[in-house]
Amino acid sequence: MTTLTAVMIGGLVVVISLLVIRLSDKAVTLPDSITLPDGTTPTAVTFGKGWIAVVSDDNRILILDAESGDLRQTITIE
């Protein structure tokens, strides 16, 4: 094994280790359940600090509380 091979293997191990450490700190906690209004079909979901945004197929964004799952706000997309 040459020195270059050993250095490249060591560098790869360091990069993978750093990725695992950094990404594990960003774990998202989800509520046990989310209840959406009747007739709402989700098309996308995103997470923020203390909130969850659900985009529905009827052009609305529903902002939910991340801990309780309660609806905080509804935004209509025009």
Give residue 6's identity as a one-letter amino acid code: A
52/56 Cα distance (integer angstroms)? 13
pLDDT of 42 strictly over 70: yes
Q: Which two tokens stand for residue 47?
A: 């997470």
pTM: 0.61
Instruction: Tally the C-alpha atoms within 13 A of residue 39's C-alpha that lie toward its C-beta.
Output: 3
Q: How confident is the model at residue 35 (pLDDT cuts 50, 70, 90)?
A: confident
Domain coverage including residue 52 = 3-76
Number of domains observed in the structure of the chain: 1
**Three-point CA angle 65, 76, 42, nearest 5°:** 60
Residue 48 is part of a domain; what is its CATH number? 2.40.10
Could you say which DSSP state residue 29 is in? P
pLDDT in tens, 14-33: 999 998 888 776 666 677 77
Helices (H) and strands (E) in the chain, counts: 1, 4
Q: What is the pLDDT of residue 70?
A: 85
